[in-house]
Each structure stands twice: as C-alpha cells, then as structure tokens.
Amino acid sequence: MPLAGRTPHTVRNESTEDAVAFVVHAPGAPMEQFMRAVAALGPEPSMEQALAAAQRSGIELLGPIP
C-alpha cells in the first residue's frame, strides 16, 4: 500500500507466527544511509545512537509503536 511522504507509519506482526515485510522506499538513498549507519554501530545500538543516525540521514523517527 503506497503512502504519501511524511505519513507516520509502522510495520508490525501481530500474530505469533514469523512474518516477512517487503518495503520499498523511494527515493531509497536516505533510508539506505540510515540503515548503513545503524549497522555500523554494532549489534545493539542505543536508541540515542539510532536517533542521531536517523537525523543525519533525514529520517524522522516518531517514537515507540502505539
């Protein structure tokens, strides 16, 4: 389902079964930059580190999933 830019959204699995989400970001460069920056932080980056990486990449994280 396409979403307009700057539309708050999340992806979550509400079942007890494993699930796969296929997400396409366009343009993809900001999200790729963010994902690479977070991956470079190691296996368990802090929320502060992830938020800083998001800000540097132009990604806005809104907070915990309601």
Per-residue pLDDT of the chain (66 residues; tens, 9 = 90+): 788 888 888 888 999 999 999 988 888 999 999 999 999 999 999 989 999 999 999 988 886 665
Q: Can you give the pLDDT at residue 49?
A: 93
Whose CA is closest to 59, among 21, 25, 11, 23? 25
Reduced to 3 states (helix: H, G, I; strand: E, B; else coil), residue 22 is: coil
DSSP letter at 34 equals H
Q: Can you give the pLDDT at residue 65?
A: 60
Residue extents of the structural domains in the chain: 28-66
CA dist 32 and 39 (Å) reads: 10
CA dist 47 and 55 (Å) reads: 12
